[in-house]
Amino acid sequence: MRKGENEMLHNAKKSTDLQGLNHLIKDATLGIVDLVEVMHQRAIHPPFLPSTPIQRLISAIADITYKSIKWGTHFIGGGLDKALRHLTPLLGGIKSTGQLEALKSVLNGVIGDYLHEKDNPLAITMQFRYNSKAIPLHHKALDEIYPNINGKILIMVHGSCMNDTQWTRKEHNHGLALATASDKTPVFLHYNSGLHISSNGKNFNELLEELVLHWPVPIEEIDILTHSMGGLVARSAFHYACRQQKTWTKHLKRIVFLGTPHHGAALERIGNFVGSTLDSVYHTKPFARLGKLRSAGITDLRYGNLLDEDWSGFDRFDRKGDHRMHIPLPEGVECYAVAAVIGKSTDNLSARIAGDGLVDVKSALGQHDNPAKQLCFKKENTYVTFESAHLDLLHQPQVYATLKKWLG
């Protein structure tokens, strides 16, 4: 492909990203205006009291104002879309950066289901990547990307609000280091973490099957290294693969879970409680709408939903107990779990509950008060690292040494 064509493709993608951001800003503005309008109406017209002529006049004037703001937002937003299309040739100076990728990943993590539903250009499409570039799933492309390709595949699955490039932390990348040390071919999954975990699980299942069918050399084994939500996506994918009798499961040897909330994350349960409380009080009810902006992927983290049945037919913002179907660890696969603790030990209750700041120790190790929901990792297949936060799992030397022992 010629240099000029590369620049045109790059500029077109940048224009699309800016258009997506414009759509997002426009929709957010409209949402905030709606919220202010509802609060205004509730302040002017208290419940159970008749409205006076003055109150009705104020409401009529406010109604015109809010409609004007909404009309202007639609008009300006539409105009920006057209302008961006014409500006495409001038956008060559704006280069894609790690910061831009990280911003898009956070947006997808927080409101990725919304971006997907609105067909917003910022929505991430699941794909395998290497060196930040998509991997076309056909023999010739795989041979070109991996000159020394072999039959041992190591797949990395990132967590919520993150992307494939963020496996590199403090100049260390577990996946690349393990691939070099163990002679494996590294493949990174990139996905929209705002979608339901079961949706990403089903998509990952299909993508893995396609990867196996197009791998240019005989496959010896597949190992999967996951971080946080990525572990739930991998477990969901395996479950759906078994339902559909996919071939890739026959090659799967090991799955490693780094800080995976197998039984959910306390932070989302607290968010659900606060949202429900706001929703139950008349004057704070509109603010509950802000809490309901968080994605399906985030609300799935409340208890660690893996399947469509875990959320289908329920209002995901309602307060309800843990009604998940129990899905055991993949049968015939060696499974390993790493938990992190911010403190120096797990001796006290606060340390166990706080865990790594996002995921508590019991959830990361698959432990549950209900014996029927225990995941039953082998003791020798678990490891707890201390004085570590959730993201520290991605670079700590002692964690890497443990992974090297397990996967080597």
Categorise residue 332: left if φ over 0, alpha if ψ from -120 to 50, beta otherwise: left
Q: What is the CA radius of gyration of the chain?
A: 24
Summarize pLDDT for 202-211 with one digit per residue, the tens: 999 999 999 9
Sign of CA dihedral 359, 200, 393, 162: negative
Task: Name which of 197, 184, 194, 190 is nearest 238 in CA terms.
Answer: 197
Give CB contacts under 8 A, 24+ apart, made by 83-86: 84/15, 84/18, 84/19, 84/22, 85/15, 85/19
Task: Name which of 212, 165, 206, 158 is nearest 185 in CA terms.
Answer: 212
Whole-number Å distance between alpha carbons of 321 and 29:
34
Categorise residue 313: left if φ over 0, alpha if ψ from -120 to 50, beta otherwise: left
Q: Which amino acid is at 166?
A: Q
- Bridge partners (DSSP) of residue 134 are 129
Q: Reply yes or no on domain 127-264+325-407 having CATH 3.40.50.1820.
A: yes
Report residue 371 CA to chain centroid gap: 29
The encoded tokens of residue 217 equal 């050399």
Asked if residue 307 lies in contact with residue 327, where contact means CB atoms within 8 angstroms, the answer is yes
Q: DSSP class of residue 163?
A: -
Asked if residue 353 lies in contact with residue 360, where contact means CB atoms within 8 angstroms, the answer is yes
Backbone angles phi, psi at 333, to 5 degrees: -125, 135
Residue 218 neighbours by CB under 8 Å, 6+ apart: 151
pLDDT value of residue 346: 63
The 10 Å CB-count burial string (b at 16+, else e) for 238-274 is bbbbeeeebebbebbebbbbbbbbbbbbbbbeebbee
Only one residue has tokens 């057209």, namely 82
Whole-number Å distance between alpha carbons of 69 and 73:
6
- Bridge partners (DSSP) of residue 383 are 338
**Alpha-carbon distance values, 111 to 224, 305, 357 (Å):** 26, 18, 22
Task: Name which of 125, 82, 75, 89 is nearest 12 in CA terms.
Answer: 89
Sign of CA dihedral 159, 163, 166, 167: positive
Torsion (CA) 265, 270, 271, 276 in degrees, nearest 10: 130
Q: Which amino acid is at 89?
A: P
pLDDT value of residue 98: 72
Q: Where are the domains of the chain?
A: 3-96, 127-264+325-407
Q: Please report, in tens digits, the pLDDT of each residue of the chain (408 residues total).
A: 455 555 555 555 555 555 555 555 455 545 544 544 554 454 444 554 555 555 555 455 545 544 544 444 444 445 444 543 443 344 344 455 677 788 788 888 888 898 898 888 888 999 999 999 999 999 999 999 999 999 999 999 999 999 999 999 999 999 999 999 999 999 999 999 999 999 999 999 999 999 999 999 999 999 999 999 999 999 999 999 999 999 999 999 999 999 999 999 876 544 443 444 434 444 444 444 444 567 899 899 998 999 999 888 877 667 677 889 999 999 999 999 999 999 876 666 655 667 888 899 999 999 999 999 999 999 999 999 999 999 999 999 999 999 999 998
Whole-number Å distance between alpha carbons of 72 and 66:
10
- The interaxial angle of helices 3-44 and 53-87, nearest 10 deg, is 180
Whole-number Å distance between alpha carbons of 365 and 32:
40
The DSSP result for 94-158, as a single string, is: ----HHHHHHHHHHHHHHHHHHHHTT-TTSPPPEEEETTEE---SHHHHHHH-TT--SEEEEEE-
pLDDT value of residue 54: 53
The encoded tokens of residue 293 equal 């902006």
Asked if residue 340 lies in contact with residue 391, where contact means CB atoms within 8 angstroms, the answer is no
The encoded tokens of residue 156 equal 């990395």
pLDDT value of residue 1: 47
